[in-house]
Structure 1
Amino acid sequence: MPPRPDTDRPETATASKPQQFGFLLLPQYSMMALSSATEPLRSANYISGKPLYQWHLLTPGAGNTASSSLFEINAQTPFADAPPLDMLFVVASLGVVDYHDEAVFDWLRQFAASGRPVGGISLGTLILARAGLLKEHYCTIHWDSLRAFALEFPKVDLRRDLYCIDRDRLTCGGGTSGMDMMLDLIARVHGKKFAIDVADQFLYTRLRTSTEGQKMSVQWRYGIDDRRLVKALTLMEQNIETPIAMHVIASLVGVSSRQFERLWVQNFSESPSRFYMTLRLKAAQKLLQESTYSLHDVAMQCGFASPSHLGRFYRQLFGHTPGQERKGRH
């Protein structure tokens, strides 16, 4: 990867030929993620008055690949017929939960072996990991898939960042974070001021750093401003696999157990223990819907002692068992 410039002036001279980016679109890819990654390139060309970038939309096979919102883009190219590329990104969403295409994996490995950068956008990170391309790199993925990814690849250095650029591996959480990653790449070659001009075209009021969180702050999501509740909510969300006892949370936020209970009920109309249980059960529901992990693994990942332990509370909240959730029979 080119070095990050310390000033607004690029440290590397702009290449005379446009940089060639490839975007491999896997089934049910996110249109938002694709647009966020490609539109900054288009804007950079527009502002500069010359073709700094060209991009190519690739598919696993012949024919178009529909997005998760059912849009199909014409003139997609099978990856086997891809032109020479300087950088490649895999764009994927929930349609790849069970995706295992060895032809695609082999092609990705061959591309990476050439030393050219390879990236994953949203669940594209999952595809890179399944191809064995993240073993010695840190990465990120959409926050909704963090737990499932960690369960499948426990040895991969997974982070909660907005995007990650680790040498020749680039990953982002999807959604608008593709724009942040591309603005970073543009700034590295053409300077920060130019990247700001590109961001301004999209009413993007600032350049977000790679290490910013993916989710909206707890205050905004729950409509609270009490710092004690904010800290308690953060502790709950970050400790799903190994739940923290209520008296410990109360102590960590600086109140007594009784005061903590009263404060919580005033703001959420239910006890903190019930609220915490619901968070864990919803995390289990996500894994059941979007992964093929065993009921035992799902239970362990969400802080339950056994599948039967999970099942008892799961039925109380959702009205059906985890097994029925998995089979779609509720």
Structure 2
Amino acid sequence: MNHAATPMPDGIHDLRVSTFGFLLIKDFSLIALSTAVDPLRIANMVVGRKVYTFKLLSVDGDSVTSSDGIRVFTEGTIADNEVFDTVFVVGPNPIPQPRNLGITRWLRYQDGKGAALGGIDTGSYYLARAGLLDGYRCTIHWEDQDLLVERFPKLIVSNRLYEVDNKRYTCSGGVAPLDMMVQLISQPPGTRNLGARVLELLVAEKRSHEQRQRASLRQYQGTELPKLEEALQLMESNIEETLSIAEIAAYLTVSVRQLERWFHERLNKTPAQAYMEIRLLRARQLLYRTAKPLEEVCANTGFVSTTHFATKYKAQFEISPITDRKRYQGML
């Protein structure tokens, strides 16, 4: 079947060519790259010509190894100073500490030439380091949100799947680049119908940028019970200053006993156990992704004593928090 032959309205065949450059950083997410470039390929197929061209770039011109060990060949280097309509940094996970002035200079050069700038997965970190996200809404993979805020406290950082703010395009990792790219294709110089057609051919559904990244107990413990979902959401939203189980039940206008019954039937744990797990998962994220001292991690997750925190942490993960942080850092 020739999908490109499908008639499309809105002057879709009159679209001008837009150029994209994707800078790959070692240990980038392969699925994030794929979900960013494939919508462009599909759009070209629908239109019947190359209205979107893209080039994969590296810092030094060599192939770049993704986080799953697959090496991807690139077609250019930042030293070429080729100018694009839009450039994306496809960031690594986790974010490395060394500063690369070449990337900063290249991004500022592209900005000076009028290019739109984007960050995929942790790519927004590189834009922030170049001072190119000041005054713009942005987002990043939820695991690295604390690090971004810690390093650049003046940024406007959201937990949304993606942000499109003027000529700044940022998104989280995984398949979120697909949502962002469809949004870009759906606005000038693209068209709304082109974005819808791309989604149809990729057998995907449109997700709004308002949708938030899910990084919680709810993500892997589907409850299918609205009140229980709401209870978990309250716990996730009140980690630093914790609520009592009675306060949560009162907010939901149910009895503590009913709340406990729901947790036992659906999650096989008490509300207090679920709340503790949420707080400890949050603490582990802070230990892994930020340089916050142990005392600050405790305070950020509702613990008043480092001893109590360490005891609960070891019971949950079978390793002390300090040892866990060192082990994680040794794996990078």
Same fold (TM over 0.5): yes
Coordinate RMSD, CA, aligned: 2.6
For 1:245 and 1:295, locate their aligned partners in 2 and report how far apart those are by CA, in whole Å. 24
Q: 1:308 to 1:228 in 2, by over 3 A?
A: same
Secondary structure of the structure 1 residue equivalent to 2:206: coil
Q: Provide Cα deviations, 1:92-128, integer angstroms capped at 9, x if missing partner.
A: 1314242522221232233224432100111112222
Q: Which runs of 5+ in 1 are unaligned?
A: 1-7
Q: 1:250, CA displacement in angstroms? A: 1.1
Task: Give the conservation status (yes or no) of the 8 Å contact 1:10–1:187.
Answer: no
Match of 2:5 in 1: none
Tell me by how many angstroms 1:156 deviates.
1.8
* Aligned counterparts of 2:149 and 2:26: Cα–Cα separation in 1: 22
Aligned mates of 1:178, 1:172 — CA distance in 2? 6
Return the letter of the residue paired with 1:200: E
Identify the residue that residue 322 of structure 1 maps to in structure 2: 321
- Structure 1: distance between partners of 2:296 and 2:76: 39
Contact kept in structure 1, 2:12 and 2:47, CA below 8 Å = no
Asked whether the equivalents of residues 146 and 289 of structure 2 are also in contact (C-alpha less than 8 Å), the reply is no
Higher relative contact order (CA 8 A, sep 6+): 1
- Aligned residue number for residue 15 of structure 2: 14
Between 210-219 and 154-163, report the one with greater CA deviation: 210-219
Task: Quickly say closer, same or farther: Cα 1:225–1:217, change in 2 above 3 A.
Answer: farther
Does 1:270 find its partner at 2:266? Answer: no
Q: TM-score, normalised by structure 1?
A: 0.88
**Rounded Cα–Cα distance in structure 1 between residues aligned with 2:297 and 2:285:** 10
Correspondence for 1:232 = 231
Structure 2: gaps (5+ residues)? 1-8
1:301-328 residue CA offsets vs partner (Å, 9 max, x unmatched): 3232354443232122222211101111
Q: Which amino acid aligns with 2:273?
A: R
CA distance in 2, matches of 1:305, 1:273: 17
Shift in CA distance, 281/152, structure 1 to aligned 2, threshold 3 Å: farther
> Structure 2: which amino acid aligns with 1:295?
L
Aligned mates of 1:39, 1:126 — CA distance in 2: 24
Note the C-alpha offset of 1:265: 2.4
Deviant stretches of 4+, over 6 Å? 10-13, 216-220
Q: Hey, what's the Cα distance between the residues in 2 that align with 1:268 and 1:148?
A: 31
Residue 198 (structure 2) aligns with: 198
Residue 232 (structure 1) shift: 0.3
Q: Are 1:21 and 1:85, in contact at CA under 8 Å, matched by a contact in 2?
A: yes
Equivalent residue, structure 1, for 2:214: 215
Relative distance call for 1:29 and 1:316 in structure 2 (3 A) is same
What TM-score, normalized by structure 2, do the two folds share? 0.87
**Partner residue of 1:282?**
281
More displaced 10-residue stretch of structure 1: 276-285 or 99-108: 99-108
> Corresponding residue for 2:139?
140
Contact 1:26–1:96 (8 Å) recurs in 2: no
Q: 1:58–1:82: 8 Å Cα contact kept in structure 2?
A: no
Q: How many angstroms does 1:24 deviate by? A: 0.8
Greater mean alpha carbon deviation, residues 219-228 or residues 176-185: 219-228
Range with bigger deviation, 92-101 or 67-76: 92-101
Q: Aligned pair in 2 of structure 1 residues 233, 52: CA closer, same or farther (>3 Å)? A: same
Cα pair 2:13 2:47 within 8 Å, conserved:
no
Task: Give the secondary structure class of the aligned counterpart of 2:281.
Answer: helix
- In 2, Cα distance between equivalents of 1:302 and 1:100: 30
- Matches of 1:156 and 1:238 in 2, distance apart? 21
